[in-house]
Each structure stands twice: as C-alpha cells, then as structure tokens.
Chains A and B, each alone.
Chain A
C-alpha cells in the first residue's frame, strides 16, 4: 500500500531544494521521519543537516511511522536579527 506525504521546506532549505513544498508518494507504509530525511539528503544538496529539525503535522520531535496525508516540515534555525 502506498501513502502520500506533503513535505514543506523553510528558510535556506527551500532554496537548496528549489521548492517550498512537494508531495511524495511512498511505496512502503513503514516510512518514518528518518527515511524521509534520508530521501531528502540523497536527492538534494543540503548544507547544514546537523541543525535541521523536522515537525510532523505541526508537532516537533514526533517519532513513529508516517500516515497517508501527513505533513512533514523541515525547519532550519535562523540566525538573523
């Protein structure tokens, strides 16, 4: 069974991926945040992977398998003031 998740990119990540959002169809229903991260880091050249945080459905630090229709947001910390 395949599922579709929506990925959202913020700040410099949106520039590095070249888009603010995209939908991703996943073959497996066992996909989690880590496999989505791995997918993105393989597909795009992301400069600062260590400090990026990922929110699932507007919640930070949520583990476990993703469901059909989930929204996964990639947030870098900003430093500007």
Chain B
C-alpha cells in the first residue's frame, strides 16, 4: 500500500493541528531515528506510540523471545508469537500500524562491543532494559556518542523516569554513580501490567517532545510514579561533571562482577539471563536461561545432583518444578536465597 502526502497529512492531522507540531514538526518526526533497547513492558508501548506518531526510523533491540508470562504487560505480542523473537514480532505488529516508517529489528543484546557503533546511527535512545548492566552501558555509550536517552525503570507499582544527557543536563551516573548490580526483575517480585504501560508511554511522549524541541523535557528531574498510592514526586537532580568526565576518559568498560561457587565438585545449573551479574566463573556451571529450558533440557546431566541457581532462589525453584513435572528430573536441588545469599555470605566472611 502506498500513500500520498495527503494521506500522510490525514494520518497525522490530529497532531499536526497542535502548534508545537505543525507540518515542520511532522517532518522532524519523519526524519527522526530512535533506538529502543529492550522490547519488553516499557519498549512495547513506547514503540507503539512512536510508530503511530510517524517517527521515520525505529530500531527495536532485543534478543529475547516471547513468553506466555510476558503477555500481561508486553502488549504488542500475541499468543501466536510465543517462542518467536520479540524484535521481529514487534516489527511485524508495528508495520501493521504504520507501513510508511522504517523499522529495524535488532536481534541482539546491547553489549560493550556493539553499543557505541549502534548509538551513532540514532538521534536518541529509549531505555526499555530490565537490568543495571544495560542501564549503565546505555549511559556510558550515550555520553561517548552525545546521544540523549530516556530512562525508565519499574518496581511492583512504582516507576522512575528521567531524560539523561540532554542539552548538557545530568546523566544516570550523576544520579546513581555506582551499582551493586542487585537486579530485582519483574519475574522475581511481580509487576502490575499497566505500570510499564504508563512509563513506556511517558518515554514516547518525552521522545516526541525532544524531537520537536519543545520546552518541559524531563531533564535534570527524576519523576517518581506510584500507581498504588498516587503519591507522585518530582526530584531535582544536578549534573556532576566528574562522573561524566570519568566516562569520557575511560570509555566503555565492562562492569564485571564474578562469583565463585564452592566446592568445585558440585554441579550447578544457572537459569538467569546471560547479562545478569555476577557471572558464575567456573567449569562446574551450565547456563540455560528460563525461556530456553524446554529447548535445552537434554544438556542437563541426570546422573548427578544438580544445584539450580538464580539471583534470589525464586526462578530456580520454578525451573525445578518445570523440569520435574515435564521431564521427570529427580536430581535437582534448589539453591535457596540464590546468588545474593552466597554473595552476602562471602561478604560476611571477608569482613569477619
């Protein structure tokens, strides 16, 4: 289907009518290039509104595949998409909304090796990631490539939102200089579906404002949203030049946190995703993320005790249930408290 410029005007007529948009603003949107890192609960609504608004070029980055437990909040996906790559399924759904824009499905994780080159091809980045390693990587690659980015993060009913590295405003490291990398994921603690919907929609709204160069962009401020109590807040944050200079000087370096499992003769199955830290640095570990268990269950040894581990012990116990019921494993032991418990124990040892 091809459309002439009248059709395009008609499609966007309700936003072109706004003085802040107008025909020039619509042209700016058409020329804008936006990268969305992570096509989960935040990325889906953000991408949906940006595609609908006529943002000319969208990059959708995610290596993950669609899982049944995603569907309550990752609203672009359908039951038929389960097992398929999110980036690919999202592209298909979005092209049905707007066939006139260019959408690039990037089936990869954002890592130290690809971040800077990738960011150079986009005007701004939306953070739809669910882990600290990716958030700090987005920050550092943005600083190095002078790319503004829109941060959002969620916890149960609460969300945080801010625009970083925009017109000499503060960066993520100005707010949270360091991380202990204790990721708390929606899988572990639960999340109300509409929460990422609200935050992702606000990310799209900030992206459109930035492309149109309007006032009131959420730079230098952290918005806190609580859908349970409606006690929202706006916190002022300051730019910290030394945090920004540090990144410029050292470039991208992986923040690797590793953890050793003792004794070495125990065998472990790590069911976390590949970017979750600390990584388990040992030969007695195999890594099969939760959503690959069915496909890779034959790699799990059945002839010796296997200690199943994740960040807190919750996913590992789900994994054990799944493997026992579906495949009859009877040699699986849950590591209660997960890697965090081991790290805390190690910490106490060094402090004692």
Binding site for B on A (CB under 8 A): 10-12, 20, 47-48, 50-51, 53, 55, 58-61, 73, 75, 77-81
Contact = CB atoms under 8 A, between A and B. Distances in A.
Contacts of A55: 235-236
Interface of B: 38, 40-43, 127-132, 135, 152-156, 158-160, 175-176, 178-180, 182-186, 189, 191, 196, 222, 224, 229, 231, 233-238, 240
Contacts of A81: 38, 40-43, 127-131, 152-154, 186, 196
Contact of B180 (A48, A58, A59, A73): A48
B83 to A, nearest CB: 21
B130 A60 contact: no
25 contacts: A10-B224, A11-B156, A12-B155, A48-B180, A51-B176, A51-B179, A59-B235, A61-B240, A75-B224, A77-B132, A77-B135, A77-B160, A78-B153, A78-B154, A78-B155, A78-B159, A78-B184, A79-B130, A80-B130, A80-B155, A80-B185, A81-B38, A81-B43, A81-B153, A81-B154
Contacts of A47: 182
B158 A11 contact: yes
6 tightest A-B CB contacts, nearest first: A81-B130, A78-B153, A80-B154, A78-B155, A79-B183, A60-B237
B196 A12 contact: no
B236 A59 contact: yes
A20 B160 contact: no
A10 B129 CA distance: 20
B237 A78 contact: no
A79 B231 CA distance: 20
Nearest to B238: A61
